[in-house]
């Protein structure tokens, strides 16, 4: 019995057992993303502000599991990303990939093709703000290949 206890303690102390932890973020994770056909991997969406004519924007909390990412896409009215937790990636077409950390803000001008998502080894969350809703449509494009992602 002592041997089992000592081995168990040794495994735990050396990091041999990892416990799943929830990403520490300020907003609820939400449900499985209803737009999952435009993503690689598992994502969740919690709408914080629905599209309406008063605020002229929509705001959602998007949570990405490790390695999950959007397809290439663009917004006719632009997009703002406020990074709240984890480590992520953002890339505008033809530019270098940017590493994103909590507190980062990404301002994506209208019609810029881009993708964003989690790092390969970290969950990730951001607030997505779509401004100019009267004219803002999301155009979904091809999936980001593993080669583009890495």
pLDDT in tens, 114-131: 999 999 999 999 999 998
Q: Could you list the residue range(s) of the whole structural domain that residue 43 is in? A: 2-149
pLDDT tens across 19-76, in order?
345 789 999 999 999 999 999 999 999 999 988 778 888 999 999 999 999 999 999 9
DSSP-derived 3-state class of residue 90: strand
- The two structure tokens encoding residue 148: 């583009």
- Domains of the chain: total: 1
Is there a contact between 117 and 68 (Cβ–Cβ < 8 Å)? yes
- Give pTM, 2 decimals: 0.83
- Angle (CA) 119 121 125, round 5°: 50
DSSP 38: G
| Neighbouring C-alpha atoms within 13 Å toward the C-beta of 145 | 2
Which domain CATH number covers 138?
2.60.120.10
């Amino acid at each position: 019995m002592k041997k089992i206890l000592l081995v168990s303690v040794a495994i735990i102390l050396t990091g041999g057992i990892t416990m799943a932890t929830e990403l520490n973020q300020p907003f609820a994770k939400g449900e499985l993303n209803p737009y999952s056909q435009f993503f690689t991997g598992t994502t969740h969406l919690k709408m914080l502000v629905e599209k309406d004519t008063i605020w002229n924007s929509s705001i959602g909390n998007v949570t990405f599991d490790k390695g999950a990412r959007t397809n290439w896409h663009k917004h006719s009215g632009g997009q703002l990303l406020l990074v709240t937790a984890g480590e992520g990636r953002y890339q505008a077409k033809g530019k270098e990939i940017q590493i994103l950390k909590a507190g980062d803000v990404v301002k994506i001008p209208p019609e810029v093709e881009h993708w964003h998502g989690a790092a390969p080894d970290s969950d990730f969350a951001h607030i997505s703000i779509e401004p100019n809703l009267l004219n803002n449509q999301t155009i979904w494009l091809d999936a980001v290949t593993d080669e583009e992602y890495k």
